[in-house]
Structure 1
Amino acid sequence: MTSWAVDLADVGAVYPFQGTEFILYIAGLVFWIWWHVAQIRAESREVRYEIGADTTGEATRRAIAAY
């Protein structure tokens, strides 16, 4: 290459995996949505467990009073 002032269409691929941007975007979007759904489910399960473990609130009151 003798000059940097060339038409990039004539040079060829400028970066790897050229043409897969939309597929990678869709894959990232699906992963992002899946991650949030998984987090919401896990946190809901944890909250239900914690609520079920202390239905009267006595254990919480004792812990607060102790410290």
Structure 2
Amino acid sequence: MSTIGYDSWAVDLAEVGAVYPLQGTEWLMVILGVAFWIGWHRIQFVREGAHLEEAKHMGDEEKIKELLKKY
């Protein structure tokens, strides 16, 4: 069974061209990958910011200031 129209692989592959599925969709995949990457970092930025904001209000403020003075 051939998905590219060849019955035999005994040909010069340099003349055949691309022999992988979804050929021609590389730019779409790059755009989707970059969008996912940017979205992931945005989500992480917001979640970590909320976590740090919550951590600022934990504990006694005076004890935290004293501990920070040591370092």
Residues 57 and 8 of structure 1: CA distance in aligned 2, closer, same or farther (over 3 Å):
farther
Residues 19 and 53 of structure 1: CA distance in aligned 2, closer, same or farther (over 3 Å):
same
How far the C-alpha of 1:26 sits from its partner, in A, is 0.1
**Which residue of the partner structure matches residue 16 of structure 2?**
8
Residues 50 and 24 of structure 1: CA distance in aligned 2, closer, same or farther (over 3 Å):
same
RMSD: 2.3
**Which residue of the partner structure matches residue 52 of structure 2?**
47
How far the C-alpha of 1:55 sits from its partner, in A, is 5.4
Q: Return the alpha-carbon distance in structure 1 between the equivalents of residues 57 and 44 of structure 2.
A: 20
Q: Which amino acid aligns with 2:32?
A: A
Q: Return the alpha-carbon distance in structure 1 between the equivalents of residues 62 and 35 of structure 2.
A: 40
**Which residue of the partner structure matches residue 58 of structure 1?**
63
Residues 55 and 40 of structure 1: CA distance in aligned 2, closer, same or farther (over 3 Å):
farther
Greater per-residue helix proportion: 1
Query: Over residues 23-48 of structure 1, what are the superposed CA-to-partner deviations in whole Å (9 max), with x where a residue is unaligned?
Result: 01000000000000100100000000
Unaligned segments of structure 2, at least 5 residues:
1-7, 67-71
